[in-house]
Amino acid sequence: MTETLILVLAWVAGGALGAMFFGGLWWTMQRALASIRPAFWFFGSLLLRMGIALAGFYVVSGGHWRRLVACLLGFVMARLVVTWLTQPSKENQTRPPQEATHAPES
């Protein structure tokens, strides 16, 4: 394969790893907020997501720094996409409370 195709595939793999990592984080937040023991959700999810992501980076890079950089770029781009997809809609957002003014001077 050509080096360009390998870098594109590393970028796509990084995007898939990022989608799994940040999508898994979003899913964990949904489950943990409704759980009696949210710490177990957060800790277990962190271990699983980090293990998969680090193993994926290791396999994709194959000891080549350019592949690792392309994979990391795809990972960061996936973070932006997942953040954009999971943000609440504008209709569901409530207005922030107004800040209290200072106490009147006497």
Residue pair 26/85 in contact (Cβ under 8 Å)? The answer is: no
Higher pLDDT, 106 or 15: 15
Q: Where are the domains of the chain?
A: 3-87
pLDDT at 91 over 90: no
- Percentage of the chain lying above the pLDDT 90 cut: 70
Neighbours of 55 (CB within 10 A): 11
pLDDT at 89: 74
Distance CA 66, CA 7 (A): 7
Distance CA 82, CA 79 (A): 5
pLDDT at 104 over 70: no
Angle at CA of residue 51, ends 50 and 56, nearest 5°: 95
Dihedral over Cα of 88, 89, 92, 97: its sign: positive
Q: Model pTM?
A: 0.77
Dump pLDDT digits (tens) for 18-69: 999 999 999 999 999 888 999 999 999 999 999 999 999 999 999 999 999 9
pLDDT at 79: 93
